[in-house]
Amino acid sequence: MRKSSFFISVAAVMALATPACAASVKAAKGNTKQMAKHMALQREVGLRSITEDAARAHVYFLADDLLEGRRAGERGSRIAKQYIISQMRQLGLKPMLGNSYEQPFEACGVQRLKRGARFFVEADSIAEIKKQVHQTLHLGNVLAVLPGKKADEMVVVGAHLDHEGMYPDLEGDKIYNGADDNASGVSAVLQIMKAFVASGVQPERTVVFAFWDGEELGLLGSRYFTQNYPHMDKVKGYLNFDMVGSGTDSPYLMYFFTASHPKFGEWLKEDVAKYKFGFETDYRSWDNPVGGSDQGSFHLKGVPIVWYHTGGQPHYNFPSDEPQTVNYHKLTDISRASYLTAWRLANEAEY
């Protein structure tokens, strides 16, 4: 074919194809808009499933005297785990690892007279500790998964389930119930978990709902997970909840986030402006978020974090940290706001 004839033919084909291509592009854009509208509507369905009644139900159960303060490795902690697992089963979520919702692990510490042991979960440390007089705890995280469209990317939403336990030699109230620390955080994660399922939407990224054991003894559960899960490179973000119900009258919320990810702060500011949530936010970008709670375990693995925290309060680490001291209106709004943050982490293309 001669060159001139070739270009004439190509031009003719393009002239015929252009309307069809334009229609195809228009249809694709229309589908994208429809999909975005559908996602927004379904996100709102999930948001409406988060209620103050549910927050109260979770906290009052987990911080009841019958659970004896949920000390790691003891009966009350095991009851709390079964409660959490029952919620996972009811929602139809599957275990993250194998056939069990629990990720069992061992923690060991050198036992010295009149001193509490410092516990370790690292295999090499445990091997050395076992050569001495030592204490062993058999613990376990509770993990469920909501599969996303991308199997190679995930976000983790977590809170520690344990507290300080019971001390028979105390005068008066002998149980450290841990309503704010951290039944409130467990409640928030349970409600976010329910909201994702209620939305009916498969997220872009897989979402893991995690309840850590042994946090009060040195972040043991989150340390074990982050040091032993073989695909930490797939974890694109971690949301942590530790004490999110303090202050019966105070609207104060500290919002910690990894400084290199300013979008985390922008997201919450947008949602607070839109929904008029009942808390006042102290935004704290953090270059090295290692202290205070389980977010540190993830930061050390290079995972960007968000940590919701309502600050210190008079009942912190006292037996008086009981369900009636929790600000349930604020806890519910924090759970709603953090669900929206988790939704963005699971679905935004970039951050």
pLDDT at position 28 over 60: no
DSSP line for 80-135: HHHHHHHHHHHHTPEESBTTBSEEEEEEEEE-BTTBPPPEE--HHHHHHHTTSSEE
- Its sign, for the CA torsion 225, 230, 231, 236, is positive
0.85 exceeded by pTM:
yes
pLDDT at position 11 over 80: no
- The answer to whether the CB of 90 falls within 8 A of the CB of 231 is no
pLDDT digits (tens, 9 = 90+) for 132-148: 999 999 999 999 999 99
Q: How many domains does the chain have?
A: 1
Q: What is the mean pLDDT of residues 213-217?
A: 97
| 165 assigned to some structural domain | yes
pLDDT at position 229 over 80: yes
Q: What is the CATH number of the domain that holds 249?
A: 3.40.630.10
HEC secondary structure over 215-274? HHHCCHHHHHHHHHCCCHHHEEEEEEECCCCCCCCCCEEEEEEECCCCHHHHHHHHHHHH
Pairing of strands 235-241, 150-160: parallel
What was the pLDDT predicted at 21? 43
Domain that holds residue 307: 45-103+141-347
Q: Find where tokens 């069992």 sit.
A: 104
- Alpha-carbon distance of 13 to 10, in angstroms, equals 5
pLDDT digits (tens, 9 = 90+) for 153-206: 999 999 999 999 999 999 999 999 999 999 999 999 999 999 999 999 999 999
Q: What is the mean pLDDT of residues 264-281?
A: 96
pLDDT digits (tens, 9 = 90+) for 36-94: 899 999 999 999 999 999 999 999 999 999 999 999 999 999 999 999 999 999 999 99
| 127 assigned to some structural domain | no
DSSP line for 298-310: HHTTT--EEEEE-
What was the pLDDT predicted at 250? 84
What was the pLDDT predicted at 291? 86
- Alpha-carbon distance of 166 to 67, in angstroms, equals 9
> For residue 97, what are the β-bridge partners?
100
| 332 assigned to some structural domain | yes
| 307 assigned to some structural domain | yes
Show the tokens assigned to 299: 């930061």
- Burial of residue 18, with CB atoms counted within 10 A of its CB: 0-12 exposed, 13-18 middle, 19 or more buried: exposed
CB atoms within 10 A of CB 274: 9
- The answer to whether the CB of 158 falls within 8 A of the CB of 345 is no
What was the pLDDT predicted at 312? 81
Query: Which helix (H) or strand (E) is 178 found in, with range?
Result: none
- Rounded to 5 degrees, φ, ψ at 154 are -150, 160
What was the pLDDT predicted at 4? 43
| 155 assigned to some structural domain | yes
What was the pLDDT predicted at 316? 87
pLDDT digits (tens, 9 = 90+) for 293-351: 999 999 999 999 999 999 888 898 899 999 999 999 999 999 999 999 999 999 999 99
| 117 assigned to some structural domain | no
Show the tokens assigned to 203: 């997220």
Reading phi first (left if > 0) and then psi (alpha if -120 to 50, else beta), residue 95 is in beta
| 52 assigned to some structural domain | yes
Query: Which helix (H) or strand (E) is 144 found in, with range?
Result: strand 134-146
| 1 assigned to some structural domain | no
What was the pLDDT predicted at 12? 40
Q: What is the mean pLDDT of residues 241-253?
A: 89
What was the pLDDT predicted at 311? 86
Percent of the chain at pLDDT above 90? 83
Show the tokens assigned to 93: 């979520």
Q: What is the mean pLDDT of residues 89-111?
A: 96
- Burial of residue 78, with CB atoms counted within 10 A of its CB: 0-12 exposed, 13-18 middle, 19 or more buried: middle
pLDDT at position 22 over 80: no
Number of H helices, E strands in the chain: 9, 12
- The answer to whether the CB of 267 falls within 8 A of the CB of 304 is no
Reading phi first (left if > 0) and then psi (alpha if -120 to 50, else beta), residue 35 is in alpha
